[in-house]
Amino acid sequence: MKNQKLVNLRTQQPTVTKQQKAKQQKQTIATQIAKKLQQMKQQLQMKLKKLQQTMKH
């Protein structure tokens, strides 16, 4: 009975690691997207400030 459990654990493990890997990849992609969006937002805010300054003059 004990041996059977060990075999089951061994066969189940790869799928768990695959799922974890996929989860990690999704998280890193999400993080990269968030960073990129943050950069774009900052750039747009800078452009907007410049535009507002030129409009005032």
What the block records as the tokens of 43 is 């750039």
Inter-CA distances, 16 with 11, 26, 42, 46, Å: 10, 15, 39, 45
pLDDT at 1 > cutoff 60: no
SS3 sequence of the chain = CHHHHHHHHHHHHHHHHHHHHHHHHHHHHHHHHHHHHHHHHHHHHHHHHHHHHHHHC
For residue range 7-51, list pLDDT tens digits in order. 666 666 666 688 899 999 999 999 999 999 999 999 999 999 999
Angle at 54 between CA 50 and CA 57, to 5 degrees: 145
pLDDT score for 2: 60
pLDDT band at 56 (very low <50, low <70, confident <90, very high): confident
